[in-house]
Amino acid sequence: MSNHSNIKNLLLLFIFLNSNVQILLAQNPEKCATVSVAKRLADENPALIDIRKQYEKDIQQWIENNKSLRLSEDQEAIKTIPVVVHVVYKNTTENISNSVITSQLNVLNKDFRKLNTDMVPSSHPFYTIAGDAGIEFCLASVDPSGNPTSGITRTSTTVSRFSDDEKVKSSATGGANAWDTKKYLNLWVCDLGSSLLGYATFPDLNAFPSVDGVVIGYQYFGLSGTIGGANNLGRTATHEIGHWLDLYHIWGDEPDCDADDEVTDTPKQAGENYSCPAASNGFATDACTGSNPGIMYQNYMDYTDDACMSIFTNGQICRMKAVLNTTRTGLFTGVRCSGTTAVNTSIADKIRIYPNPVNHYISIEGLPQTKQPYFNVTFINMLGKVIYTTQFSYKDALLELGDLNTGTYIMTISNDDFYTTQKITVVK
Ligand SMILES: [Zn+2]
């Protein structure tokens, strides 16, 4: 962290610098409304300012206490966040398909694990700063009442367009109510117009459970094709969930070189970047850096096009891990991604995974034909740790589990078009 004794309170700064910010926003489109929403919520609920200060202290303390953790050791402890997607639609275009939702989960599971294939090349100076956050996402298979679910809710609305307020988060105002925000990441997908891509709440909004979560325009959710323009690769969710895990914009949200994002390994930069500012060597500079490799426009927390962003840094990952170990620990109290579910529940009924409990070999039958000819399989233990991964290329598979210890695991089977989970018990 850049300066422990002088931790910046972004919300207060925004109050003081509001006039400058308004000028900045007038010149450039506000792709993400997270910071302005945080300012408004703090204006409406002054208690949030103290809550935020306390949360920042908790985060810094956790980072201080855990700085001796070697990243390689910490990477073993994969944390899986249960997700509910609330689709709030007025027409069929806004009622995005299950496969688009699955594609979004797959993007998140690549971006937060440094498995994305568009990473900067290994020769680039930023390559070694980029890290694996060790965070994965699953569509919830158990709802707040303990019933099986696909992890997707669909709500027809008469509202033509939502904005950066809380209306989409309440059935009373044409939206969908949140599921317990301490236990689930709530993602609302709706019409936000064409210029606003999305907004999130910082972790202090955990104190206001009905609004804690992320809202994303339907055009920008998942692999959305031409409808999403240059924001069609699912990176809006990556960016907004970064905020939800307490990351700031990489330029520090002020148009100068003093502002910082409270992360030491991201270079200072004067402002946000649009499009893709890369020179052919992958470097770009601005008023703050002035020399190569310059600014990190490839960071998920900039405003660049989806195809141009590919990095969370180790410093950013440290902040996110601190949040998951302090303010957002409720996400991991209990297993909410278990049982047989698929994004298409009619498919889930046809899948046969047996025997269960299993001793050595397990059969998987009835998987749908998908564009991708293979499926990825992951076994996660009850501590959230990935124990075993494999891939199979056949419609019906026989997996050998002889090396797995006795115990209960969550098995996920997925590819770009498909996702399902099943609780598996291994006996010897
Ligand atoms: Zn943002």
Domain CATH number, residue 359:
2.60.40.3080
pLDDT at 377 over 50: yes
Q: In terms of domains, do 122 and 165 share one?
A: yes
Q: Which amino acid is at 124?
A: H
Of the two residues 77 and 224, the one the predictor is more confident about is 224
Q: In terms of domains, do 303 and 355 share one?
A: no
Give the strand pairing for 79-89 and 135-139: parallel
pLDDT at 382: 64
**Token pair of 302 as six digits:** 């900039």
Question: 389 near 378, Cβ under 8 Å?
Answer: yes
Q: What is the mean pLDDT of residues 173-180?
A: 97
pLDDT at 251 over 60: yes
Q: In terms of domains, do 96 and 225 share one?
A: yes
Question: What is the percent of the chain with per-residue pLDDT over 90, rounded to a whole number?
Answer: 53
Q: Find the Cα–Cα–Cα–Cα dihedral 35, 41, 44, 48, rounded to 10°.
A: -100
Confidence of residue 74 (pLDDT cuts 50, 70, 90): low
**Token pair of 357 as six digits:** 């409990």
Whether 292 maps to a domain, the answer reads no
Distance 327 CA to ligand 1 centre (A): 20
Q: In terms of domains, do 101 and 229 share one?
A: yes
Whether 350 maps to a domain, the answer reads yes
Distance in angstroms (rounded) separating the CA atoms of residues 377 and 422: 11
pLDDT at 233: 97
Beta strand ranges found along 118-197 (DSSP E): 135-139, 152-156, 185-190
pLDDT at 7 over 50: no
pLDDT at 349: 64
For residue 141, CA distances in Å to 57, 335, 337, 364 come to 34, 9, 5, 19
What amino acid positions are annotated as catalytic residues?
Answer: 240
Confidence of residue 2 (pLDDT cuts 50, 70, 90): very low
Q: In terms of domains, do 200 and 304 share one?
A: yes
Of 280, 312, 331, at which residue does a domain stop? 331
CATH of the domain at 93: 3.40.390.10
Q: In terms of domains, do 27 and 83 share one?
A: yes
Of the two residues 230 and 256, the one the predictor is more confident about is 230
Distance 408 CA to ligand 1 centre (A): 38
**Token pair of 47 as six digits:** 């208690």
Whether 53 maps to a domain, the answer reads yes
**Token pair of 421 as six digits:** 């989970």
pLDDT at 160: 97
Segment 132-176, tens digit of pLDDT: 998 999 999 888 988 878 899 999 999 999 999 999 999 999 999
Q: In terms of domains, do 136 and 205 share one?
A: yes
**Token pair of 91 as six digits:** 């027409």
Enclosing domain of residue 383: 341-426
pLDDT at 270 over 70: yes
Q: In terms of domains, do 302 and 409 share one?
A: no
Of the two residues 145 and 96, the one the predictor is more confident about is 96
Total tally of structural domains belonging to the chain: 2
Of 309, 331, 353, at which residue does a domain stop? 331
Segment 33-59, tens digit of pLDDT: 999 999 999 999 999 999 999 999 999
- In sequence order, what DSSP letters do the residues of 194-208 get, joined into one string? SS--EEE--GGGGGS
Distance 234 CA to ligand 1 centre (A): 14
Whether 336 maps to a domain, the answer reads no
Q: In terms of domains, do 161 and 213 share one?
A: yes
Distance in angstroms (rounded) separating the CA atoms of residues 207 and 203: 8
pLDDT at 205: 83
Length of the chain: 428
Confidence of residue 18 (pLDDT cuts 50, 70, 90): very low
Q: In terms of domains, do 222 and 354 share one?
A: no
Q: Find the Cα–Cα–Cα–Cα dihedral 313, 318, 323, 326, rounded to 10°.
A: 180
Whether 24 maps to a domain, the answer reads yes
Distance in angstroms (rounded) separating the CA atoms of residues 422 and 380: 11
Whether 284 maps to a domain, the answer reads no
Find, among 418, 427, 401, 422, the residue nearest to 410 by Cα. Answer: 422
Q: In terms of domains, do 106 and 191 share one?
A: yes
Distance 92 CA to ligand 1 centre (A): 28
**Token pair of 306 as six digits:** 């989806």
pLDDT at 394: 64
Whether 237 maps to a domain, the answer reads yes
pLDDT at 351 over 60: yes
Whether 307 maps to a domain, the answer reads yes
Considering the entire predicted model, what is its pTM?
0.78
Distance in angstroms (rounded) separating the CA atoms of residues 153 and 95: 11
Burial (CB < 10 A; 0-12, 13-18, 19+), residue 7, is middle
